[in-house]
Amino acid sequence: MKPDGTRQIAFILGHEFTALDAVGPYELLRLMPDTEVRFVAHRPGPVLTDGGVLSLVASHSFDETPEPDIVLVPAISANGPHIGELLEWLRRVHRTTEWTTSVCGGAMLLAMAGILDGHPATTHWSALEALPNFGSDPRPEERVVRSGKIVTAAGVSAGLDLALWLVGELHGQEWAEVVQLMAEYDPQPPFHAGHMSKASPRVRELAAAEMDRLYPAG
């Protein structure tokens, strides 16, 4: 927390990041009292998402954000430019953060930075099997996993659950419920294939093939 009582939240932007990973939590966390929000990248300016059409604008650079209170890392291409700069920044700021968090494939960036070594974590189902390579214990059945001040969320939409949980931790259940109502976050999906344990074998097969097409290895 800053001397004036505010908390600074850094939402990380990077090459081919997934928009909802960042924007979903942003829409809830920005509603907390005494909060300063930043979108942070290697330099200020527009950053293109993985869809190739939508961009978000980074308001600050890594150098301009040396001590964020909360860091949120979305899925970002590990093969993109400036990844080394991002990983070094994550290692450095994690020493002083109040919370270090990730959504979806963002956990892989935390893992690459060495932050998940020895910690349980979750990520998108397509990347779970890679976590042990970085010394992390994957938790495929959990949507949000906390280990100390590290909090990881499963794929994409799970960022909303992480954000709402974090509001509750910082400001209590009542304020979290206020934020939930303001956002009218009341999920009632028309289908029930949102987790690998619920999807049919055919749906799992098609989803895996589509993930391979959209995000080819290497």
Active site residues: 104
Residue spans of alpha helices (H) in the chain? 19-29, 83-94, 106-112, 158-182, 201-214
Amino acid identity of residue 218, one-letter, is G
45 has which bridge partners? 58
Cβ count within 10 A of residue 129: 11
- Is 172 in a helix, a strand, or coil? helix
Round to whole Å and give the CA distance between 115 and 50: 24
* 107 closest CA partner among 141, 78, 66, 85: 78
Q: Is 7 helix (H, G, I), strand (E, B) or coil?
A: strand
Pairwise CA distance, residues 29 & 36, whole Å: 10
- Token pair recorded at residue 1: 């927390």
